[in-house]
Chains A and B, each alone.
Chain A
């Protein structure tokens, strides 16, 4: 091999090696482990078994999975409803403050999510800020605590993940050619029609991307229910963590990990379809 090719070879093979050893191989290991049997002393017993999967179709796990999907879906919906108008307004603003306003979204996005979850404790606990405001307004007579409720978990997940919805939506709205909306208006479409037939389809890839960035982490963020839900209202993440560190049932934990991975691949597929459809539609028109 000559000097000419060595640089190319090294940079490609180095990166491929890293990705295979620390990306692909561990994924395969997780899949492999999910098909092994549990062993009391050695963590896993090297024989083929479907025990792991049998445990996760147990009603106890299905209840956690269902509850987790419900919390994640609810959080995604809450984030979408709050973020869409926000991102739309921000992206279409024309002021020199726009950059500053966007930066104010980046700060929570970049702040440690554990620290932000911890900050919520100040709001939600008994005699916390929310409770104090409610008492002051006369809505409740006594201080109330919101901690350890389902609502607290919803608030916690929405609070930590909202910026992850805003940013993809913002960049999707910013990409829209303003002339498209003007054209729709000129052709007599009302604001609702313009929204549903022009704006919404054009921002669809951003919506799907944002939903993925909220929904998938929302299934796994075990520290949010730990801190705000008091160990009730569990997520799949809590289940996996417990299987690995408390119950020591690795095949079952790995099987739950495989389920999450399949869910992610399905969402990536949907994302690809929505993006492909938009590109195709764009090509047809031009």
Chain B
């Protein structure tokens, strides 16, 4: 009985979180360009979205950046997490502190400092700055995800492998990696999502020749509601729901 009462107590927050998103999803099917009144169901905004090459290109660019940066961040992050877990090297504390600072840094600070770096290096905004910036801000999250998984298992297993003659690389590949695989996958998914979510850092990294989705949306909606953006946003919310679901399944396997 009290469980039901507790669920009721949670309700206001869920209403607050979901009503705007539900409204957005609903209006993406509304057969009216400007009105918020319901004028009947339509797929036309989705059809129009499919023919909007600018948005479609930006979507493909965003996916490319998200997949590549998540992959690089995962490779680097897994190696770093394992190194932090197994080895006591000089600068270990500094690396941990650095990761924490990058994780907590306001996006705007990361954005302008990376902008300065690329201006100094003479690299024009676009693909490469986006890729490196996204990899950088994803890296600490991968390390944190994998490291917390590593802390959960018995270090004797690695020692046993080494006593049996495995090299450090073999121990990593055959013993550690299979054990942390769910965390590796979760770290990749988290990075992918972080990359797709980012607005502020990308803002300083994109140029006219390489646009990404959030910024394309940003420049379109500054002037008010756009029905094809509604359709696109609905798809993005749908993708997020699927990703959260998959990551929850992965986390369940971790335990």
Which chain A residues have a beta carbon within 8 Å of chain B's beta carbons?
Answer: 3-8, 10-12, 14-16, 18-19, 21-27, 29-30, 33, 43, 82-83, 85-86, 89-90, 93-95, 97, 99, 101, 103-108, 110-116, 118-123, 125, 127-129, 132, 159, 162-163, 166, 212, 216-217, 219-223, 226-227, 236-237, 240-241, 244, 250, 253-254, 257, 260-261, 264-265, 267-268
B167 partner residues in chain A, CB cutoff 8 A = 3-4, 7
State in angstroms the CA–CA spacing of A99 and B252 once bound together: 10
Q: Do A110 and B95 touch across chains, with their CB atoms under 8 A apart?
A: no
Find A15's partner among B83, B197, B245 (CB 8 Å cutoff): B83
Is B101 engaged at the interface, CB distance under 8 Å to the other chain? yes
- Shortest Cβ distance from residue B60 to the other chain A in the assembled complex, whole angstroms: 16
Contact A93/B3 with A123-B19, A244-B204 known, Cβ cut-off 8 Å: yes
Is B233 engaged at the interface, CB distance under 8 Å to the other chain? yes
State in angstroms the CA–CA spacing of A222 and B199 once bound together: 10
Q: Do B98 and A12 touch across chains, with their CB atoms under 8 A apart?
A: no
State in angstroms the CA–CA spacing of A27 and B35 once bound together: 47
Q: Do B98 and A115 touch across chains, with their CB atoms under 8 A apart?
A: no
A254 partner residues in chain B, CB cutoff 8 A = 112, 116
State in angstroms the CA–CA spacing of A162 and B20 once bound together: 14
Interface size, B (range): 35 or more
Q: CB-CB contacts of B104-137 with A at 8 A, as 1s and 0s? A: 1111111011111101100000000000110110
Find B225's partner among A115, A122, A250 (CB 8 Å cutoff): A122
Q: Considering residues A105, A119, A220, A265, which has the most beta carbons from chain B within 10 angstroms of its beta carbon?
A: A119
State in angstroms the CA–CA spacing of A221 and B199 once bound together: 9
A10 partner residues in chain B, CB cutoff 8 A = 79
A257 partner residues in chain B, CB cutoff 8 A = 108-109, 112-113
Name which of B40-48, B51-59, B151-159, B236-244 contacts chain A.
Answer: B236-244
Q: Do B136 and A18 touch across chains, with their CB atoms under 8 A apart?
A: yes
Contact A118/B113 with A237-B200, A244-B204, A261-B105 known, Cβ cut-off 8 Å: no
A104 partner residues in chain B, CB cutoff 8 A = 14, 17-18
- Shortest Cβ distance from residue B53 to the other chain A in the assembled complex, whole angstroms: 21
A24 partner residues in chain B, CB cutoff 8 A = 98
Find B79's partner among A15, A226, A268 (CB 8 Å cutoff): A15
State in angstroms the CA–CA spacing of A226 and B243 once bound together: 29
